[in-house]
Structure 1
Amino acid sequence: MNLQLDTDGRLRHLLTLEALPRETLCRLLDRAGQIRDTALGRTHKRNSLVGTTVCTLFFEPSTRTRSSFQIAAQRLGADIINFDASTSSARKGETALDTLRNLEAMGVRGFVVRHPDDGAAGMLAEHAGEGTTIINAGDGRSAHPTQGLLDVLTLRQAKGADFSKLKVLIVGDVEHSRVARSDLHALRTLGAGEIRVCGPQALLPKDDTLQGCAVGNDFDAMLEGVDALMMLRLQRERMEEGLVTSLADYHRDYGLTAERLQRAAPGAAVLHPGPINRGVEMTDEIADGPQSLVLRQVGNGVAIRMAVLEALLG
């Protein structure tokens, strides 16, 4: 049973980009491109979701993802409920599934779910009622599909739709990154010419996550000639676990500087899902420089999430 697609191939839920048909992925990218001006408030909001209620069901903190889903729903005319586990009955022991069912009983149709456990969004989708849709806004280290979509939309705007010509480098803590996994799924689906992955050995997956990728620990060597870099946030708890010796050492070995960036292809795009640890993953000069597409990613997040909500609930 395919939880994401119905028998006619239409989206029912968005849980992962893994095995999502290329035509479905491209349709979402195309739609996001069409409505980007509306997403950024440059044209009047659409009314395609008037009368629909969307809940952001977040069991983890978030700034960009929650805010952009809120704005996306509002720009489509939907009503929005913000669920915060820290101030809800979850603190009294109510399960995520009971929370879902209670809100369904109030007429909520769309649920944007962020959860620390792998597979949490899929579990809720399995138990969701008829007409209810689940959107995974990040579960454990498994997937963050809308982030993957906005990343490849940003890359497509910068480098064109033919990904077969691109060399893309993903840098950092891939082992614990749901963003990296969704980016990899999207890049493979779009036929990226070469995918490189670089990071400390302790932060690279030991399973088949990196199958088909060129993998290495030498950042300077892996940078040569790449068209785009996807820098990942160093999760500081990895230092407590002994997986990274120090922030200074990490920046020395894997931090992006202006000098290092010269090894990449001219005009190489620099992406980062945020929040950036400035002076760790990259310098201020790079984060705020002309090759940084970080703020474009943020803007594209609203457009992608509008396209997803419209496809699932419109």
Structure 2
Amino acid sequence: MTPHPQLNSNGELRHLLTTEGLPRDVLLHILDTAQGFVSFGDREVKKVPLLRGKSVFNLFFENSTRTRTTFEIAAQRLSADVFNLDIQRSSTSKGESLLDTIANLEAMDADIFVVRHAQSGAPYLIAQHVPPHVHVVNAGDGRHAHPTQGLLDMTTIRHYKPDFSALTVAIVGDIVHSRVARSAIHALTTLGVPEVRAVGPKTLVPGDMRPMGVRVCHDIREGLQGADVVMMLRLQNERMSGGLLPSASEFHMMYGLTPERLALAKPDAIVMHPGPINRGVEIDSSVADGAQSVILPQVRFGIAVRMAVLSIIANANA
């Protein structure tokens, strides 16, 4: 039997590469651990020594604001030594291979690599070549996965809607190109959410998502009706080959989240968005800044989730 690429022989989380295939108890362990870190931002001393003496290397081959910054804050709060590789000035810009870059950083006593890369599978490749005491966290790879975003979304949902088994979650927008949607869907279904809806135009939603336990809705009114959670997605224009949308304004007219459309969801529904937000495209400002929006709390929960992931993998046995 092929060993699970993310777990060690004891079933402990060694790498975090995707939410797909992770057991429910592993997901809950991360969420429970994150809960203990949520209030850290309110403390006078915001550090604990869980990663003291460990070196965390942030390797972001794609631009990032929230993910990179919150990983850096998370590692620092755990007392790790944090190194942010400047990709534009690194030897990768001179043609050095990804694995050669990793090997050289290993020689500098790296313990954890946090990797964002435009190519799907890059963090897997790294995880296959690092020694047993080194850990890899996927901070987003191509169109494939963004597991810590999926987990911070689960933490956010759990904070406002504790019973996953009673929820209807609508994920709206560019699902075809969204690694966020993919990671969230795997987590939601594993945690027992009975109704997950993928909402968007036919060009931006995979045709048959029933094997993933997802209901496809091309009519936004149907998709939002009675939802407990509305998760909006950014249009991934940089990943589109053209011709998938007539225009951003037409997308907003058909699928943008307005107050009128939000009223179709439950009165206490929460509105989420992984950022960056395109106001007036996928979401109105009045909704993004409104009483039902939990977009900024998602960022706060992101620090706690990344603290949880880093502390868990660092303490996994080789």
- Sort the TM-score into its range (normalised by shorter chain): over 0.9
What is aligned with 1:216? Answer: 217
Q: CA deviation at 1:85?
A: 1.8
What is aligned with 1:50? Answer: 52
Matched, 1:2 2:4: yes
Checking the alignment, whether the CA contact within 8 Å between 1:39 and 1:306 is kept in structure 2 is no
> Residue 35 of structure 1 aligns to a residue in which SS?
helix
Checking the alignment, whether the CA contact within 8 Å between 1:56 and 1:66 is kept in structure 2 is yes
- The verdict on how the C-alpha distance between 1:39 and 1:120 changes in structure 2, with shifts beyond 3 A counting, is farther
Tell me how far apart the structure 2 counterparts of residues 22 and 232 of structure 1 sit (CA, whole Å): 25
Tell me how far apart the structure 2 counterparts of residues 110 and 211 of structure 1 sit (CA, whole Å): 31
| Identical columns (%) | 53
Tell me how far apart the structure 2 counterparts of residues 279 and 36 of structure 1 sit (CA, whole Å): 31
- 2:33 aligns with one of 31, 34, 39: 31
Query: How large is the RMSD of aligned CA atoms in angstroms?
Result: 1.4
Deviations 1:15-72 (A, max 9, x none): 0111101111101101111111225655431011111110001111110000000000
Deviations 1:104-153 (A, max 9, x none): 00101100000011111001000011200000000011110000000010
Deviations 1:137-196 (A, max 9, x none): 000111100000000100000111x21110000001111100000000000110002011
What is aligned with 1:202? Answer: 203
Tell me the TM-score normalised to structure 2 length: 0.95
What is aligned with 2:234? Answer: 233
Tell me how far apart the structure 2 counterparts of residues 236 and 96 of structure 1 sit (CA, whole Å): 26
Tell me how far apart the structure 1 counterparts of residues 254 and 239 of structure 2 sit (CA, whole Å): 16
Checking the alignment, whether the CA contact within 8 Å between 2:60 and 2:115 is kept in structure 1 is yes
1:101-120 aligned within 5 A: 101-120=103-122
- The verdict on how the C-alpha distance between 1:95 and 1:199 changes in structure 2, with shifts beyond 3 A counting, is same
- Could you list the runs of 5+ residues in structure 1 that have no partner in the other structure? none
Tell me the TM-score normalised to structure 1 length: 0.96
Checking the alignment, whether the CA contact within 8 Å between 2:209 and 2:216 is kept in structure 1 is no
Tell me how far apart the structure 2 counterparts of residues 17 and 239 of structure 1 sit (CA, whole Å): 24
Higher mean C-alpha displacement, 252-261 vs 203-212 = 203-212
Q: Which amino acid aligns with 1:137?
A: A
What is aligned with 2:23? Answer: 21
Q: Which amino acid aligns with 2:283?
A: M
Deviations 1:54-110 (A, max 9, x none): 000111111000000000000000000101322211110011111111000010110
1:65-144 aligned within 5 A: 65-144=67-146
Checking the alignment, whether the CA contact within 8 Å between 1:133 and 1:312 is kept in structure 2 is yes
- The verdict on how the C-alpha distance between 1:86 and 1:247 changes in structure 2, with shifts beyond 3 A counting, is same
> Residue 213 of structure 2 aligns to a residue in which SS?
coil
What is aligned with 2:260? Answer: 259
Checking the alignment, whether the CA contact within 8 Å between 1:39 and 1:75 is kept in structure 2 is no
Q: CA deviation at 1:236?
A: 2.7
Q: Which amino acid aligns with 2:212?
A: Q
Checking the alignment, whether the CA contact within 8 Å between 2:209 and 2:215 is kept in structure 1 is no
Give the total of aligned pairs.
313
What is aligned with 1:178? Answer: 179
